[in-house]
Amino acid sequence: MTERPPMPPNDVTSRVQGLNDWYRQHAAVSVLEHALLRPETGRIALVSSFGAESVVLLHMISVIRRDTPVIFLDTELLFTETLVYQQELSERLGLKDLRIIHADRVEAQAEDPDKTLHQRDLEACCALRKTRPLERALQGFDGWITGRKRYHGGTRTALDFFETDAATGRIKVNPLAHWTKDDVQTYMEENRLPRHPLVAKGYPSIGCMPCTAPVAQGEDIRAGRWRGSDKTECGIHFVNGKAVRQGERA
């Protein structure tokens, strides 16, 4: 582990700023080690889609602290390939605390009984199947780890390692924020990690089956997500419908 930063202040916003200042020139592993091993971080979970690049953080977790809670949102609209990949990868990495989360059954039956809500209201579908289930799953946690990266573009271009969730006061940790596509590929190759099978079919970013399309050469990595709409995020990184980055409040 790297040299320890000074003890953080109690105020979450000040703590996040101090952590970003301290770790600005550090590697992703150092950031992740802080999140997982420093007691003042509190209870923390990794939220993983088991998508195209998820294996990097999952592998790091398996090396640093294998019993870290891993939250996987099964929207029941995922590709079969994603579900199989999740099972195989969890077993291969020996993850000790995988939590598979679904939408509330009563809510799903009332709001989307035939699973066609995405055709009528994308935001409502993501709220039902992702945002609200994740919020329930994170109850009792002080923070969570994401796999977001600046090179994905859009609202992610200004990501820092640490963020404050303005709605809940939780810390969000983005260990790979500064990584490039080449960094991701190199890590996978050096550690001989299995790729999501849909990547070879032109899916560099993978979400729910009805809302994910292949990406053509030269297109943005997330161009296949909600193609044909203005939507760019599923909602789990939004507060009151607004993308929240470090330093912003809803």
pLDDT in tens, 157-204: 778 888 888 778 888 999 999 899 999 999 999 999 999 999 999 998
pLDDT in tens, 74-91: 999 999 999 999 999 999
d(CA 84, CA 59): 17
Task: Give residue 50's pLDDT.
Answer: 97
Range of lowest pLDDT (2-11, 57-66, 82-91, 158-167): 2-11
Range of lowest pLDDT (7-16, 61-70, 72-81, 182-191): 7-16
Task: Give residue 72's pLDDT.
Answer: 98
| Predicted confidence (pLDDT) at residue 132 exceeds the cutoff of 70 | yes
- Closest residue by Cα to residue 204 from 191, 194, 189, 214: 214
Q: What is the pTM of this model?
A: 0.83
Range of lowest pLDDT (2-11, 36-45, 60-69): 2-11
Average pLDDT over residues 56-81: 97
Task: Give residue 217's pLDDT.
Answer: 84
For the chain, helix (H) and strand (E) counts, in that order, are: 9, 8
Contacts of 22 (CB under 8 A, 6+ apart): 5, 6
**What are the Cα distances from residue 116, in Å, to 5, 10, 109?**
49, 45, 12
| Predicted confidence (pLDDT) at residue 144 exceeds the cutoff of 90 | yes
Average pLDDT over residues 128-135: 94
d(CA 143, CA 83): 25
| Predicted confidence (pLDDT) at residue 133 exceeds the cutoff of 60 | yes
Share of the chain above pLDDT 90, in %: 58
* Active-site residue, selected from the candidate residues 125, 126, 208, 234: 234
User: Is the sign of the CA dihedral 75, 133, 175, 141 positive or negative?
Assistant: negative
Mean residue pLDDT of the chain comes to 85
- Domains in the chain (CATH in brackets) are 12-201 (3.40.50.620)
234 catalytic per annotation: yes
| Predicted confidence (pLDDT) at residue 238 exceeds the cutoff of 60 | no
Q: Which has more confidence, 179 or 2?
A: 179
Is beta strand 242-243 parallel, antiparallel or unpaired with respect to 238-239?
antiparallel
DSSP code per residue over 112-177: -TTS-HHHH-HHHHHIIIIIHHHHHHTTT-SEEE----GGG-GGGTT--SEEE-TTT--EEE-TTT
pLDDT tier at 248, thresholds 50, 70, 90: very low
Half-sphere exposure of residue 49: CA atoms within 13 angstroms, side-chain side = 20
Average pLDDT over residues 16-38: 80
